Amino acid sequence: MPLTKDQFAGVMMGLAVGDALGAAWEGMTSDLIFEMGPADKIVEHASGREIYYTDDTQMTISVVQTLIELGTIEKHYLARKFAENHPDRGYGQGARRIINAIGAGEDWETLAANVFNGKGSLGNGGAMRVVPLGLFFAPDLNLVAEQAALSAAPTHTHEIGVDGARLMAVAAALAAESAGQPFDRQAFLTQLRSFAETEEFQWQFDHALELEPHQSLRSFGCSLEAQRSVVTSVMCFANSPDSYPETISRAIGQGDDVDTLAAMAGALAGARLGIGGVPKHLIDCLEDNHQGQSFLLDLAEQLWRRYQLGCASA
Ligand code: F2R
Ligand code: MG
Ligand code: MG
């Protein structure tokens, strides 16, 4: 079954709301968030104050625009988009340096390969911007993974940063394809495990398959590195696939990189549940400036229209 406009809208709102709601708590410990919240109350009671998304949503905009305009990822084109869409909204240090180099017309490819002592970035920036891409290329999971790797390339060259992006995009495609059916958590995690190319993600998915939904996610981490946040977000979604508020509450409750945890987990929930699954009182809080709520919804519709062209020609 082709995916719906509502699912594309659900992804963009699920992402931006999770990002913006988490942003106020980014860097805080889970204990502090519990004391000041707790996380489920933060989500339940959010209203009356405007919330602002960060780099997670802003970089996703560039990926989506590239797909709308080209129908595929071309890394130089995407790199240019990153530089164009870049008033700083809390970027990672490596990503910021690379985007500044792109904007200045410098050799950003050499820089991207050499940040972090020549190892390249393994940050979660490649994963945080990739959920709409997963829907765009669904149900072809090999193509999803391949395109996700290309979308990571401008900023993330470390194999873990790239694998994080591949896995998040495949999770998005699977979450979207699961819409309207009971969610099979074990099958979802097993399929993701089969796409993991790096040991770090292979063992994490092996461990995820052994956990019951109520068990702690602490061992998967909650920080800026892909291998310390991607599986955590996937599990926040997989443990409550039919509730956006529960999914992002769990993500925010982890502490530390909570804008990104809630952005990724919230986008996966939006892929399955559609925009109807993202509570209106949360969407109403989201900024509506020139690239705010209305812009994001329009972008989601344009991406869905482009996706339909691909479905028609297949
Ligand atoms: N950067 C942040 N938050 C920090 C505080 C922001 C502050 N409020 C502000 O306004 O400035 N958030 C955003 O960054 C994450 C995505 O990062 P991305 O795009 O992957 O960037 P980067 O710099 O490449 O990697 C992030 C960190 O990961 C560690 N790291 C990466 N590669 C490494 C390697 N090879 N070895 C060791 N560590 C590596 C570094 O600590 C990087 O700084 C999201 O959370 C987004 O919200
Ligand atoms: Mg951020
Ligand atoms: Mg973050």
Going by C-alpha positions, the residue among 109, 227, 110, 115 that lies closest to residue 162 is: 227
Predicted confidence (pLDDT) per residue in 147-199, tens digit: 999 999 999 999 999 999 999 999 999 999 999 999 999 999 999 999 999 99
CB 220 within 8 A of CB 252: no
d(CA 232, CA 218): 8
CA 23 – ligand 3 centroid, Å: 7
The yes-or-no verdict on residue 314 having pLDDT over 70 is no
Give the closest ligand to the alpha carbon of residue 55: 2
Taking residues 270-289, what's their average pLDDT? Answer: 96
Going by C-alpha positions, the residue among 163, 145, 251, 147 that lies closest to residue 201 is: 163
- As residues whose CB is below 5 A from the ion ligand 2, the structure lists 54-56, 90, 259
Ligand 1 atom closest to residue 122's alpha carbon, by position in its atom list: 32
Ligand 1 atom closest to residue 59's alpha carbon, by position in its atom list: 19
Going by C-alpha positions, the residue among 117, 85, 74, 114 that lies closest to residue 98 is: 114
d(CA 305, CA 246): 30
CB 168 within 8 A of CB 127: yes
Taking residues 272-280, what's their average pLDDT? Answer: 97
Residues 6+ apart with CB under 8 A from 77: 66, 69, 70
The yes-or-no verdict on residue 289 having pLDDT over 90 is no
Mutation probe of ligand 1 site: the residue of 91, 98, 115, 254 with most atoms within 8 A of C-beta: 91
CA 182 – ligand 1 centroid, Å: 36
Q: Tell the residue number behind the tokens 């062209």, with chain if given.
A: 309
Q: Angle of helix 244-253 relative to helix 230-239, nearest 10 degrees?
A: 140
Q: What is the pLDDT of residue 120?
A: 98
Letter for the amino acid at 292? G
Q: Tell the residue number behind the tokens 């000041």, with chain if given.
A: 36
Residues 6+ apart with CB under 8 A from 314: none
Q: What is the pLDDT of residue 87?
A: 76
Contacts of residues 33-37 at CB distance under 8 Å and 24 or more positions apart, as own/partner, are 33/252, 33/253, 33/255, 33/258, 34/253, 37/252, 37/253
Predicted confidence (pLDDT) per residue in 66-123, tens digit: 999 999 999 999 999 999 997 789 999 999 999 999 999 999 999 999 999 999 999 9
Residues near ligand 1 (Cβ within 6 A): 26, 54-56, 90-95, 116, 119, 121-125, 128, 155, 158, 224-225, 257, 259-260
Predicted confidence (pLDDT) per residue in 3-56, tens digit: 999 999 999 999 999 999 999 999 999 999 999 989 999 898 888 789 999 999
CB 253 within 8 A of CB 224: no
CB 138 within 8 A of CB 18: no
Predicted confidence (pLDDT) per residue in 128-138, tens digit: 999 999 999 99
Structure tokens at 3: 């995916």
Ligand 1, atom 8, lies closest to the CA of 90
Give the closest ligand to the alpha carbon of residue 125: 1
d(CA 162, CA 202): 14
CA 258 – ligand 3 centroid, Å: 6
d(CA 275, CA 176): 12
d(CA 144, CA 192): 12
Give the closest ligand to the alpha carbon of residue 112: 1
Mutation probe of ligand 1 site: the residue of 99, 159, 160, 224 with most atoms within 8 A of C-beta: 224
Percent of residues in the chain assigned helix, strand, coil, to nearest 5? 70, 0, 30
d(CA 200, CA 175): 22
Mutation probe of ligand 1 site: the residue of 121, 129, 256 with most atoms within 8 A of C-beta: 121
CA 313 – ligand 1 centroid, Å: 39
Give the closest ligand to the alpha carbon of residue 154: 1
Q: What DSSP assignment string belongs to 155-206?
A: T--SHHHHHHHHHHHHHHHHHHHTTTS---HHHHHHHHHHH--SHHHHHHHH
CA 59 – ligand 2 centroid, Å: 9
CB 181 within 8 A of CB 272: no
Ligand 1 atom closest to residue 225's alpha carbon, by position in its atom list: 28
Ligand 1 atom closest to residue 223's alpha carbon, by position in its atom list: 45
CB 245 within 8 A of CB 14: no
CA 314 – ligand 1 centroid, Å: 38
